[in-house]
Amino acid sequence: MKPQYQHELMTSFMLWFDHELLQKGEAYSNQTGSFYYSDDTRLPNEYKSYSSPYKQWVNDSSINGDTNPIIPSSLMGSGRNDGIIFDFENGRIIETGGNFGTNNTITGSFAVKDFNIYLTNETEEDLILENKFELNSRYAKTETGVNPYDQMAPAIFLNCEYMRNEGFAFGGEEKTTNIVKAIVLAENSYQLDGALSIFADSSRKIISKIPFSKHPSTEYGDIKNGLYNYTNLANTYLTANPYYIEDVTVSKFSEKKQGIIPGNLKIGFIDFEVSANRFPRS
Amino acid sequence: MATLNLQSEINKKLAPQVRPEIRKLFQRSFQKKKNEMIAEFLNHPVTIEIKGGVDSTNVSGTLGGGSGNLFSFIGFDSKDDPIDPILKILEQISFDYLNTSTKRINYRINLPSAKEIFAATPMPWATGRSWAKGIETGISGLGFYLRKETPNSRSGLGVQSPRKVRKKSKFKNVKYISDLIKRYEKEFSNLQI
């Protein structure tokens, strides 16, 4: 199936959301640490995976702050040209050459996001009450590599549950409105308030419509062509009928109900009303 | 020689005198329309169901029409009256004199926006969210709804549990406040005596 309106909306929205949080909140920390060999049966046999203790890594080079994020392009002298894949999504490297042995000590530096961002189809109740998230092990006493593909908190889950079209102008132009819900699972109230505050201020902003094919990540979580700059990418597509954030409401999960949530995660909700004018029948 | 525009003079001179009488006539039409709007709100299946409290049935069909009801599903306390704040806002609908033009007196109708009503209808478990808006765009939590009497339940009937006890079904959104306000904006703007 070809990518449809909702595919492009959620791709564009997620890239914008990630950038906004990292840039406005400087919601990342630079880390230096070891990589641990981990067997991953989903990878081809000749690929070896070495996981850091943290996921997800920052891959957007347009982020700058008091300390700019470290976006790795080489590790102990080996880079993409030597067959290293940087899996930013899962906080690891995948080696396709013969640079490292499974017993080697590998170390490197990278920037870890304060919040992992995920697109999800799971309902809020499933995310909040059923799933038990591992915490990014930045405070763990014994450092180990994180399991690939596990969803880890602190995290923000984005979900689009609602879409409606209504007539806008003669000639078939319609206003399409989507409700995009973000469920924030934070480690503490400070972190939760920070995320809610950033996005409460995003009302009436516009989001570039980035084509599905321009998503910066490869199937292995690395950056296409080795460089991703959200600002440049967004500016390239800014004129192509952008999305408009009509309204944002933020809310915290009731303290009274906190007792039924597994773990000590602080929960918040951000509800975005995003619209675009389009010709859905053409 | 100066000429007198008689019609203009009549309009100018008579308008202030007839204004109270016209206001009375307009008040009558306005009140009729306002009552119609409030009645429509009170007769909406969602309003009826929530107004019915913990014992109501799912007449709105939002929960698949099966067991359970919106009042308990949303998580209201048994003593809550979630409809009352909306009713109070609707009862405050009023009109003021705006201006007079030729053969026409204009009144401004003070109709609440859907946003104002959403602000007055907080979810019991996340006060920044509106249950009234949720009726239109979706409310989570159905999978954890138990039709079971328990002292721990806020409403005395529904309870949220960390484990799913019933096959998950989808909350069905229905038109509610936004639709009502939008339609009556048109109705009021076409109001004549």
B180 or B147, which is more confident? B180
DSSP string over A155-213 = EEEEEEEEEEEEEEETTTEEEEEEEEEEEEEESSHHHHHHHHHHHHTTTT-EE----GG
| CB proximity list for B184: less than 8 A, separation 6 or greater | B33, B37, B111
Cα B20 to chain centroid distance, Å, stands at 30
Q: State the total domains in chain B.
A: 1
Q: Is the dihedral of CA A119, A122, A127, A132 positive or negative?
A: negative
Count of domains forming chain A = 1
> Is the Cβ pair B137, A179 closer than 8 Å?
yes
Which residue range forms the structural domain that includes residue A212? 5-278
Top mean pLDDT of A146-155, B46-55, B166-175 is at: B46-55
Mean pLDDT value across chain B:
80
Q: Cα(A223)–Cα(A86) distance, rounded to whole angstroms?
A: 8
What per-residue confidence (pLDDT) applies to B81?
Answer: 94
Q: Is residue B116 part of a domain?
A: yes
Residue B3 has pLDDT above 60, yes or no: no
pLDDT band at A138 (very low <50, low <70, confident <90, very high): low
Using a CB-CB cut-off of 8 Å, the residues of chain B touching A161 are 137-138
Q: Do A253 and B125 make contact, defined as CB atoms within 8 angstroms?
A: yes
Distance from CA of B54 to the nearest CA of A (A): 20
Say what percent of chain B tops pLDDT 70.
75
Kindly tell me if the per-residue pLDDT of B21 is higher than 60. Answer: yes
Measured CA to CA, the distance from residue A185 to residue A117 in angstroms comes to 10
pLDDT, chain A, mean: 88
The minimal CB distance from B140 to the residues A124, A130, A260 is found for A124
Q: Does B116 touch chain A (CB under 8 A)?
A: no
The reported pLDDT for the residue numbered B150 is 45
Q: How much is the pLDDT for A245? A: 96
Tell me: the pLDDT tens digits for B99-115?
Answer: 877 677 888 999 999 99
Q: Which long-range contacts (CB under 8 A, 24 or more apart) does A252-255 make?
A: A252/A192, A252/A196, A252/B126, A252/B127, A252/B128, A253/A128, A253/B125, A253/B126, A254/B124, A254/B125, A254/B126, A254/B127
Say if CB B76 and CB B82 are below 8 A apart.
yes
Give residue A10's pLDDT band: very low, low, confident or very high (50, 70, 90): very high
Domain assignment of residue B3, yes or no: no
| Residue of higher predicted confidence among A75 and A18 | A18
Q: Are A238 and A210 in contact, with CB atoms under 8 Å apart?
A: no
Q: Which residues does A183 contact at the CB level (< 8 Å), separation at least 6?
A: A124, A127, A128, A156, A157, A159, A267, A268, A269
* pLDDT at residue A130 greater than cutoff 80: no
pLDDT of B165: 43
In terms of CA atoms, which chain B residue is nearest residue A196? B128
Provide the domain limits for residue B146: 19-189
Residue of A246, A271, A272 to mutate, testing the B interface (most B Cβ within 10 Å of its Cβ): A271
Q: What confidence tier does B16 reach under pLDDT thresholds 50, 70, 90?
A: confident
Higher-confidence position of A97 and A169? A169
Instruction: Please tell me if residue B137 touches chain A, with a CB cutoff of 8 Å.
Output: yes
Q: Read off φ and ψ for residue A236, nearest 5 degrees.
A: -60, -35
Contacts of residue A178, defined as CB under 8 A and 6 or more positions apart, other chains included, come to A6, A9, A160, A162, A163, A273, A274, A275
Percent of chain A with pLDDT over 90: 56
Partner A contacted by B45 (CB < 8 A): no
More confident residue, B19 or B120: B120
Are A135 and A115 in contact by the 8 Å Cβ rule? The answer is no
Shortest Cα distance from B140 to chain A (angstroms)? 6
pLDDT at position B175 over 50? yes
Is any Cβ of chain B less than 8 angstroms from the Cβ of A130? yes
The answer as to whether B130 is a domain residue is: yes
Average pLDDT over residues A155-179: 92
pLDDT band at A21 (very low <50, low <70, confident <90, very high): very high
Answer yes or no: do A129 and B123 touch at CB < 8 A. no
Residue range A44-98, pLDDT digits in tens:
888 889 999 888 999 999 999 899 999 999 888 888 988 899 999 999 999 887 7
Contact B138 A161 (CB under 8 A): yes
User: What is the structure's pLDDT at B100?
Assistant: 77
Contact A82, A226 (CB under 8 A): no
